[in-house]
Amino acid sequence: MRNHLLAVTAIMAAVSAPVAAQAQGTVGVASPGAVIVDDGTIGIALDQRPAFRAYIVQERVPSYSIPDRVAVGGILPETGVIFYDVPQTFGATPYRYTVVNGETVLVEPHTRRIVQVID
């Protein structure tokens, strides 16, 4: 009986492992009232955000206004917004940053999609 229980447990663990790994990279749309946890794995890490915000203020990056709400997944206009390189001191990243509606955002430069809002 014990061997049967161990075999079933091992099979269940093996089957569920790929599902758990896929769930960690999943991007979805949150429903109203949902809690979104930002663990800092994309873009600027949580512990570096205060220094990054101070850097943005020091650089006096202009803020662009858009009629849409600034949110992860949003697409910025093709014209009128300038993207800046993230300094190496904040880690190597393929993303660029800009300030939109007073909020600093990281953007995928080829698609202009917002990947992180730095708050």
Asked if the structure places residue 28 within a domain, the reply is no
How far apart, in whole angstroms, are the C-alpha atoms of residue 21 and residue 14? Answer: 12
Asked if the structure places residue 62 within a domain, the reply is yes
Asked if the structure places residue 30 within a domain, the reply is no
Asked if the structure places residue 8 within a domain, the reply is no
- Neighbour count for residue 72 (Cβ, 10 Å): 17
pLDDT tens digit string along 64-109? 999 989 999 999 998 889 999 999 998 888 999 999 999 999 999 9
Cβ–Cβ < 8 Å for 107, 97 = yes
Domain holding 47, by residue range, is 35-118
Asked if the structure places residue 3 within a domain, the reply is no
pLDDT tens digit string along 15-24? 454 444 444 3
- What is the model's pLDDT at position 24? 39
Higher pLDDT, 24 or 60: 60
